[in-house]
Structure 1
């Protein structure tokens, strides 16, 4: 058993809604199957890339917000509320009886309610201002995921929305950990959410060359670390984690899925969308996270990679892993199954890393047959898990998240 780092916090609850399933266990089972969820999307008809990874249709009970409140919430907010409810219940906490002033909420999102801005702008152009929803602003602004979670749970402690593009969910967890360790709260409800699969946003990513163009075979499009990868698949999803100080969790008999033992955050200051060549600043985030956890690179058993399936990101990340972790920890990349849920991805992948630790099972990377010999003549030299689940006891895992703007976030999760 790994010694509990002095600054560790316990992950005591998980909630997830992703293209692999509604709920944490459904998502985890889908990710372990290692099959892509990408499919042609009727809402993207006529777009240069017309496929995505969508959340399965939810039953009325699964989707129930209640209280006549759903009309004022953007879809990204609704997903956050539903995931937060699952996480809090999973942690064995009752919002009706907790001290709300000691509960913090931190939720990240990359594009927030842009889907509603898109539809309401069209309505305005077609029919004038009377057709614009009075709820447009709360459906749009990025802090409302946190705001509605606060309202739903009766949480009155510190709250905020993090916006670091595709690292937003991971940033939220790092911030929540700091709030706990500073004494600003006793419970933190934190994660990421995204629902931005729209014609305009998808076309924007396609126009910049970020998306896979495999329109004839969507299920084969997301292929992290494959030599013939050609871009990511846009997705939606949400994940929320409940964090508590380890002593507090133990006092109420909760061991937790894992400990969030360190977080490293750096910036590239290189380019709006491309990672810094060589990944030196991402490496600094990895080393900082491990140092904060009191660990060394040699201690890492497993890497949950950012693994977008884009040529540049995967090469840079693979070179980073091979350079800093030459002992060959296992590597997985859930975006092969789930697609890229942008601001939610970091939280989804942290939650999956916690489940990997709990079950001692590493999910395979979808559409990757064996480990690639290389790309552009450069060998990767990393231990990608492929084809089937790998049984592996994991004491120390790292989860990478990188975002447009040069945001680098690495989380260290350890066995409780």
Structure 2
């Protein structure tokens, strides 16, 4: 069996409201760009206004026929486009499809389109298209991706609420480490919210209130004293994971040196400092790293008042006060099921460039003892980084990423 230190990332794909593809995405991160506005996608309008960041224009994957495109959900079109970018960078057409796997992070992904279908066929159910029998199943997205790319090794979904994207990375890494496949793609899928989910999340106090629609550019404030909840952001990301050196000529982005999953034993949305600290310590232990070796942390950072304070306390408790910290969600919004994968991509891109992006709207940090990256960003070498995710239901994950050649993994 491979050790964790042999597991690397050889391809990245990303689609967000602020940028499609790695180059546009990185540019938006460093510029501190945003697309926060009152959401307008059909199925998200209601008597109240919901602030979010929506992907502009049409998303048209290259591997679909016109007929397949007509019957594909928005989530699927974004997933296929994102997967194609990572697939081509890692030259996966050269790999036997029997040795390629796919893990999709996310469940209940297409709620908006299901709501639209219900409303459209409420008075004429006999005209419901046959494809509906597939579209409400989590296996549908796996099926579309495996059909389009010839993946025949393994494919399944993992649901962990807002930790789903990072759980997919961990599951993919473990599949490669165990030798189940040679290459595995982790896909953090776009969760297509309808107004029902937005209403529910706002009612519980997780999503920003209606009044934030008056100044949407100021609504998303991770780790700032003025935070009022998360702002949704459409997003998807894909990471190609394999053993180092299996295919010569590929330049990897870094090593997945350690990871950990810890549960709180809690159904609800409340975060746990113990659970988050446990995940951090577990990932450090698996990577063979001490806290003072972590140069950079990409936190969960949703802008939930209780969530931000709990996470800041966990960082402090684990001795990560020397690491630089920024919040990718301040630029992208919260991608929910995709968030952990999008933030892993952001972490790897920043490590390669040696530059950390700014944190938008961070004026008065909730904890003055951490090394926040403010408006100007930060030029710095990152040898070891950590990315964190947390999901409703008490799911905490942590991922350590090391630059190639750091030689720190035991």
Contact 2:4 2:177 in 1 (8 A): no
Equivalent pair of 2:163/2:340 in contact (CA under 8 Å): yes
Number of aligned positions between the proteins = 399
Deviation sequence 1:154-189 (CA, Å, 0-9, x none) = 011021101100111100000000000101111111
Match of 2:112?
A: 115
List per-residue Cα deviations over 1:179-238 (Å, max 9, x = no partner). Answer: 001011111111211242322221121111111121101111011000010001112111
SS at match of 1:7: helix
| 2:103 matched residue in structure 1 | 106
1:403 has 2:391 as partner: yes
Deviation, 1:63, is 6.9
Partner of 1:392: 380
For 2:154 and 2:66, how far apart are their aligned partners in 1? 25
Change (3 A) 1:152 1:66: same
The 8 Å contact of residues 72 and 139 in structure 1, kept in 2 or not, is answered as no
Q: 45-54 or 158-167, which moves further after superposition?
A: 45-54
Mark the CA change 1:305 to 1:143 in structure 2 (over 3 Å): closer, same or farther.
Answer: same
**Displacement of 1:37:** 1.9
Partner of 2:57: 57
Structure 1 residues 380, 270: CA separation in 2 closer, same or farther (over 3 Å shift)? Answer: farther
What is residue 345 of structure 1 aligned with on the other side?
A: 339
Which residue does 1:14 correspond to in 2?
A: 12
Query: Matches of 1:8 and 1:47 in 2, distance apart?
Result: 52
Provide the residue aligned with 1:328 in structure 2: 322
Helix, strand or coil at the partner of 1:22: coil
Corresponding residue for residue 128 of structure 2: 132
Contact 1:75–1:195, Cα closer than 8 Å, also in 2: no
1:243 corresponds in structure 2 to: 241
Per-residue Cα deviation, 1:267-290 (whole angstroms, up to 9, x for no partner): 1113411112xx111111111111
> 1:33/1:137 Cα in 2 relative to 1: closer, same or farther (>3 Å)?
farther
What SS class does the counterpart of residue 214 from structure 2 fall into? coil
Q: Which residues in structure 2 correspond to 1:266-415 (within 5 Å)?
A: 266-276=262-272, 279-369=273-363, 372=365, 374=366, 379-415=367-403
SS of residue matched to 1:21: coil
- Matches of 2:375 and 2:278, distance apart in 1: 32
* Distance in 1 of aligned mates of 2:95 and 2:250: 16
Offset at residue 404 of structure 1 (A) = 0.6
Question: Structure 2, unaligned stretches of length 5 or more?
Answer: 405-410
Aligned residue for 2:389, secondary structure, equals: strand
- Measured after TM superposition, the shift of residue 123 of structure 1 is 2.0
Alignment check: 8 A CA contact 1:22 1:58 kept: no
- Cα 1:88/1:64, change in 2 over 3 Å: closer
Q: Is the 8 A contact 1:22 1:56 kept in 2?
A: no
- The DSSP-based 3-state class of the residue aligned with 1:263 is strand
In structure 1, the residue corresponding to 2:232 is in which secondary structure?
coil
Query: Which structure 2 residues correspond to residues 169-180 of structure 1 after superposition, within 5 A?
Result: 169-180=165-176
For the structure 1 residues 148 and 397, does the alpha-carbon distance in structure 2 shift closer, same or farther, using more than 3 Å as the test? same
Contact 1:366–1:386 (Cα < 8 Å) also in 2: yes
User: Is the CA contact 1:34–1:388 (under 8 Å) kept in the aligned structure 2?
Assistant: no
Determine the C-alpha separation between the residues in 1 that align with 2:149 and 2:374.
40
Cα contact 1:49–1:211 (8 A) shared by 2: no
2:56 is aligned with 1:68: no
Paired residues of 1:8 and 1:293 also in contact (CA < 8 A): no
TM value normalised by structure 1: 0.91
Q: CA deviation at 1:46?
A: 3.3
Q: Secondary structure at the match of 2:292?
A: helix
Q: What's the C-alpha RMSD, in Å, of the aligned pairs? A: 1.8
* TM-aligned CA distance change 1:137 to 1:30, over 3 Å: farther
1:210 is paired with a residue of what secondary structure?
A: coil
Q: Shift of the alpha carbon at 1:67?
A: 5.5
| Counterparts of residues 186-265 of structure 1 (less than 5 Å) | 186-213=182-209, 214-248=212-246, 251-265=247-261
Asked whether the 8 Å contact 1:65–1:82 carries over to 2, the reply is no
Contact 2:110 2:193 in 1 (8 A): no
Following superposition, the deviation at residue 263 of structure 1 comes to: 1.0
Q: What is the aligned partner in structure 1 of residue 156 from structure 2?
A: 160
Tell me the CA shift for residue 104 of structure 1.
Answer: 0.6
Aligned in 2, Cα 1:121/1:340: closer, same or farther, shift over 3 Å?
same
Residue deviations 1:369-399 (CA, integer Å, cap 9, x gap): 3x52x3xxxx452111110221010000000
Q: Secondary structure at the match of 1:194?
A: coil
Q: Which runs of 5 or more structure 1 residues have no equivalent in the other structure?
A: none
